[in-house]
Structure 1
Amino acid sequence: MSEDPYVMFEVDGAVAIVTLNQPARRNPLSPKQAAELLAILARVRDDRSLRALVLTGAGKSFCAGANLDDMAAHALPGKSLGEATFGTMEALSNPVILALQELPVPVLTALNGGAVGGGAGLALAADVVIAARSAYFYLPSMPRLGLVPDLGASWFLRQQVGRARAMGLTLLGDRLDAEQAAQWGLIWKCVDDADLHAEALALARRLAALPAHAALETRRADRAAGSASLAQQLAYEAARQRELIDSECFAEGVRAFGGRRDPVFPGR
Structure 2
Amino acid sequence: MSTEGLEARVDRSDARPLHVQIRDILHQQIKDHILVPGDALPTEEELQQQFGVARSVVRQALASLADLGLIHRQRGRGSVVAAAPALRRFVNRAGGLDEQAAARGQHLRTHVLRLEATITPEEASAALGTARTWEIERVRYLERVPVIYERHWVPRDLFPHFTVDLLEGASLLALMRDHGYASVGGPRQVQAVAAEPDIARALDVSVGSPLLLLEGVTQDVHGRGLDRFHVWHRANTVFDVDARVQAPTPVSQERIVQLRKLVSDLESALTELEVGESR
TM-score calculated relative to the size of structure 1: 0.22
**CA radius of gyration, larger in:** 2
Structure of greater relative contact order (alpha carbons < 8 Å, 6+ residues apart): 1
The structure carrying a bigger helix percent of its residues is 1
